[in-house]
Amino acid sequence: MSYEEIPHTADVKIRVHARTLNALFSDACAALMHVLYGSDRKGGYKKVIEISANDHESLLRDFLSEVLFVSEVEGLVFAGADIRMHGTGLTARLDGEPFDRERHSSGTEVKGISYSGLAITHDANGYMLDILFDV
């Protein structure tokens, strides 16, 4: 995983670096889970999400919004995401566990995933993403 928090005045800004688009989406999901629940996350419960959109930025935002929704509604904390891209769609096989108040309360509530400043770039070193989580 290669992500870092970038200083931001009001929200949580994350920068993600990855060699592939699949890994970029997976690491962005891991960053979201880290912000929400801290680093103590385990697997064991599987969930599949399928999303499609008009472009990769919209796809990423919609994917992370769906992960956030599923996490809150179903009370799940995800430790990993195996992403398979197909055009501007994806299938995500999420691995997680039920929320545990003792282990997962060290994070920050995220209200949504912002389009503001959302950009995926690609160069010889791979992909980079800047994204804001509304807190």
The pTM (predicted TM-score) of the whole model is 0.95
Residue 132 has pLDDT above 90, yes or no: yes
For residues 17 and 128, the answer to whether their CB atoms sit within 8 Å is: yes
Domain residue limits, the chain: 3-134
CATH code of 3-134, in short, is 3.55.10.10
Tell me what pLDDT residue 99 has: 96
pLDDT digits (tens, 9 = 90+) for 101-111: 999 988 999 99
List, in order, residues 6 or more apart from 125 with CB less than 8 Å away.
17, 19
Tell me what pLDDT residue 10 has: 84
